[in-house]
Amino acid sequence: MQQTVKGALLNMIQSLIKKNQFIGLESVAHLAAGGETPMLKSHMNAVQQFMADKGCGELARELEAAKLEQARRKCARLFSADAEEITFLSNATEGINNVVFGLDWKQGDNIIVVDVEFPSGLLPWTQLRQRGVEIRIVRHKNWFIDLDDIEAHIDEKTRVVEISHVSMFTGQRIDLTKLSKIVRASNALLLLDATHAAGVVPVNAKLADIMVSSCYKWLMGVHGTAVFYVNRERLPDFQPPFLGWNNPQKHGGWKDPLQFHIKDTAHRFQPGNASFISLYILDNALDHLLELGINRIASHALSLSGEIMTAVDELGFELMTPREDLQRAGNVCFMAENLVNIKQSLEDNQVLIWGAYAGFGRLRISSHLYNDSNDVERCISALKSTV
């Protein structure tokens, strides 16, 4: 009996960061990273440091800028990119709109998107319809996006292929290497939304031409800042569509107020001040992610989400997420009758997920580095009570 108990304990998956290092995880199974992650307690130190730095007069801006550059270098490590190719915007949607309004569009051009994309990856393109730009929608097959279908939609007039690395809706992770080859065999650009991949599975930004990522989910940051990457080899002349005091490297001042020279780095896309308080928090979160290593985090999340996926399937729900490890990340998505009631039942059992909102009509269970086997067992037990 003792050997059996000991063996069971050894097989238990422990969290990579102890739950007591987060705020509010004492009594809940937090499986909602796809919507929001809980706050590290050490973020309080980051906020206090920001407040102390902000009170330093003109020196404050130097300290804030130094923190921005520090976070930028850490993002470069995480995304296998050069720091000069990265900047920070207010949100991922702003980054997508930089592409919508920044490229030189011609009548007859087309954009390729998928039907299960987040609205921010779809709606901005509708602004181009009045200029004669076509939006081509690739339809899923049983919730799966086939890259061959994307390739079939590409022609000589395709300017952009936009897609999420990991789908917020279905949980599918695309083969980025294969998609990059498909897109680069044409004249099109690949715009990648890494929001549901960054911080939980490896993301090689250089395989994309432009990449955006929110920071308040798997990156364990907060709202107010997002990563914006521009591949300088592929887009050396891409100019910002929006200008402010912060884009220029040099400005003519009062003597020549309309004279300016745009920055050479991705900071050219940052017209005003960054959300410095958000970057202090992100910088702290990146320390934890880089210390653990993204491959270790991915293995952890895939193991836990694999157990959830098996249970969801066995309980008879309509599983939307692919079963292959390389085709998924931390999200497990499924359809079921009475979605709202199921989510409420989970919450009644102190299991937090992100579910049927904004008309998407599905449930999503997300596992991240602070989760463990106990969270999974608690979730599965609560799901069983709903069938």
Percent of the chain with pLDDT strictly greater than 70: 96
Does pTM top 0.85 for this prediction?
yes
pLDDT at position 212: 98
pLDDT level of residue 32 (50, 70, 90 thresholds): very high
Partner residues linked to 110 by β-bridges: 134, 158
What are the residues whose beta carbons fall under 8 Å from the beta carbon of 270, sequence distance 6 or more?
Answer: 87, 88, 89, 246, 247
pLDDT tens-digit readout, 119-129: 999 999 999 99
Residue 43 φ/ψ, nearest 5 degrees: -60, -25
Q: Decide if pLDDT at 269 tops 90.
A: yes
pLDDT level of residue 9 (50, 70, 90 thresholds): very low
pLDDT tens-digit readout, 345-378: 999 999 999 876 556 679 999 999 999 999 999 9
What is the average pLDDT across 1-11? 43
- Beta strands 248-251 and 110-114, pairing class: unpaired
pLDDT at position 11: 74
Reduced to 3 states (helix: H, G, I; strand: E, B; else coil), residue 112 is strand
Partner residues linked to 209 by β-bridges: none
What is the average pLDDT across 330-335? 96
